[in-house]
């Protein structure tokens, strides 16, 4: 029944029209074309040219000013205090495999060992291991707010020459116009203000540099949508595009990714569901002006509210540990070539 109630975004038609101008953009006229299950979807900041925007607003996600339980820096800090123990061995194999990683990094055009690269929210260094397949480790910096995750990265022999630092994605300790590539995989979902993080990506890049943000996509199946909304930020594809365009990026593209055994199904959302890239169009800071930061980690928190958010968020996260197992079982049972 689950699969017949709502189809995933893999079956969504493309709409053509202007670039999205607000969250929850629905596009204009429909032309019945279907998005590829995986692959590049071009978006163009020039409103006079044709723009392809996936219409996946089957239900609107929460407004950006109502963060989910773990879409807070302090909650994310404590979440990874424990999760870092099992992250590489238990969490990644269900959501973020090596082939997905390499596929997601491909649009970042990392094919030069001299590139200066930052891996923001780099955690245990799983994505960094994909970056250093092409870029010399001494040119790569891993930044994360969790010392526990970074401790795991420090233990990896292959990452010994990388620079590893603690820091906040929304307030990067790098000069303006200083790096060739900005990579961030699976971190945006915890940022209270994702637009600010992407604006920071723009600032630190050199002219012509590429930002590549890999992250979740919003589910369309009702139960998955409920748990996603409780847990953390699962942006819609058009939200990513809008954040990139507002920050000032040109040539914004979105590539769909997912574990092989999902056979392209996207109705449950994916913790690692797309890779979005954009090119810095002019030197200096982003043209986007933002007010003060939404969350100051140094401010004291209400311990009751914190604990409630943390426990409820962790329960919701458990649902998404089960989804890939459910999909894997379906993949084993349903004959190859048939939809699951």
Ligand X SMILES: C[S@@+](CC[C@H](N)C(=O)[O-])C[C@H]1O[C@@H](n2cnc3c(N)ncnc32)[C@H](O)[C@@H]1O
Only one of the segments 6-14, 165-173, 285-293, 326-334 lies at the binding site for ligand X (rule: CB under 6 A); that segment is 165-173
Nearer to ligand X, 12 or 143 (CB): 143
Binding residue (CB under 6 A) for ligand X from 123, 209, 235, 248: 123
Binding residue (CB under 6 A) for ligand X from 15, 44, 141, 145: 145
Only one of the segments 47-55, 115-123, 216-224, 279-287 lies at the binding site for ligand X (rule: CB under 6 A); that segment is 115-123
- 8-state DSSP, 177: T
Please report how close the Cβ of residue 230 comes to ligand X at its closest, in angstroms. Answer: 17
Residue 126 interacts with ligand X (CB under 6 A): yes or no? yes
| Cβ neighbours around 80 below 10 Å, total | 24
For residues 51-80, which are near ligand X according to CB under 6 A? 73, 76, 80
Structure tokens belonging to residue 276? 């979005």
Only one of the segments 31-39, 164-172, 231-239, 245-253 lies at the binding site for ligand X (rule: CB under 6 A); that segment is 164-172
Nearer to ligand X, 144 or 180 (CB): 144
* CB contact set of 216 (below 8 Å; sequence gap of 6+): 186, 188, 189, 228, 232, 233, 234, 235, 269, 270, 271, 272, 273
CA–CA dist 91, 46 (Å, integer): 40
Q: What is the dihedral of CA 179, 184, 188, 190, to 10 degrees?
A: -100
Please report how close the Cβ of residue 68 comes to ligand X at its closest, in angstroms. Answer: 13
Please report how close the Cβ of residue 183 comes to ligand X at its closest, in angstroms. Answer: 8
Only one of the segments 23-31, 180-188, 228-236, 286-294 lies at the binding site for ligand X (rule: CB under 6 A); that segment is 180-188
Residue showing the smallest CB distance to ligand X in the complex: 123
Site string for ligand X, 297-316 (x = CB under 6 A): --------------------
Helix (H) or strand (E) holding 252: strand 250-256
Work out the end-to-end distance of the chain between its first and last CA atoms, rounded to an integer number of angstroms: 11
Binding residue (CB under 6 A) for ligand X from 75, 144, 229, 242: 144
Nearer to ligand X, 20 or 121 (CB): 121
Site string for ligand X, 183-202 (x = CB under 6 A): --xxx--xx-----------
| Cα dist from 141 to 137, 189, 201, 240, 258, whole Å | 8, 21, 14, 24, 26
Among 30, 13, 38, 47, residue whose Cα is nearest residue 242: 47
Are 242 and 20 contacting, i.e. CB atoms less than 8 angstroms apart? yes
Structure tokens belonging to residue 5? 């109630």
| Cα dist from 291 to 24, 106, 180, 241, 288, whole Å | 22, 34, 27, 21, 10
Nearer to ligand X, 9 or 76 (CB): 76
Residues binding ligand X: what is the number (CB under 6 A)?
A: 22
* CB contact set of 74 (below 8 Å; sequence gap of 6+): 295, 297, 301, 306
**Which residue ranges make up the site for ligand X (CB under 6 A)?**
73, 76, 80, 96, 121-124, 126-127, 144-146, 149, 168-170, 185-187, 190-191
């Amino acid at each position: 029944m689950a699969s017949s109630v709502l189809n995933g975004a893999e079956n969504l038609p493309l709409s053509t029209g202007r670039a999205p101008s607000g969250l929850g953009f629905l596009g204009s006229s429909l032309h019945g074309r279907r998005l590829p299950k995986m692959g590049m979807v071009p978006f163009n900041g020039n409103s006079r040219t044709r723009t392809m925007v996936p219409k996946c607003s089957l239900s609107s996600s929460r407004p950006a000013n109502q963060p989910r339980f773990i879409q807070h820096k302090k909650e994310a800090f404590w979440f990874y205090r424990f999760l870092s123990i099992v992250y590489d061995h238990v969490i990644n194999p269900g959501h973020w495999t090596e082939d997905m990683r390499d596929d997601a990094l491909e649009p970042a055009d990392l094919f030069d060992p001299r590139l200066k690269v930052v891996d923001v929210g780099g955690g245990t260094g799983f994505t960094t291991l994909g970056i250093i397949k092409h870029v010399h480790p001494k040119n790569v910096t891993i930044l994360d707010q969790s010392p526990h995750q970074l401790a795991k990265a420090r233990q990896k022999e292959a990452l010994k020459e990388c620079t590893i630092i603690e820091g906040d994605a929304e307030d990067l300790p790098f000069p303006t116009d200083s790096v060739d590539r900005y990579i961030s995989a699976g971190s945006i979902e915890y940022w209270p203000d994702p637009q600010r993080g992407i604006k920071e990506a723009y600032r630190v890049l050199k002219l012509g540099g590429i930002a590549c943000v890999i992250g979740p996509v919003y589910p369309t199946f009702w139960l998955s949508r409920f748990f996603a909304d409780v847990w953390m930020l699962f942006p819609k594809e058009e939200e990513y595009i809008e954040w990139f365009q507002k920050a000032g990026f040109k040539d914004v593209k979105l590539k769909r990714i997912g574990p092989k055994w999902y056979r392209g199904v996207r109705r449950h959302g994916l913790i690692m569901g797309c890779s979005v890239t954009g090119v810095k169009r002019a030197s200096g800071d982003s043209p986007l002006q933002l007010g003060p930061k939404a969350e100051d980690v140094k401010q004291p928190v209400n311990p009751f509210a914190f604990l409630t958010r943390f426990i409820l968020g962790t329960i919701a996260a458990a649902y998404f540990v089960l989804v890939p197992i459910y999909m894997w079982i379906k993949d084993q049972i349903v004959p190859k070539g048939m939809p699951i």
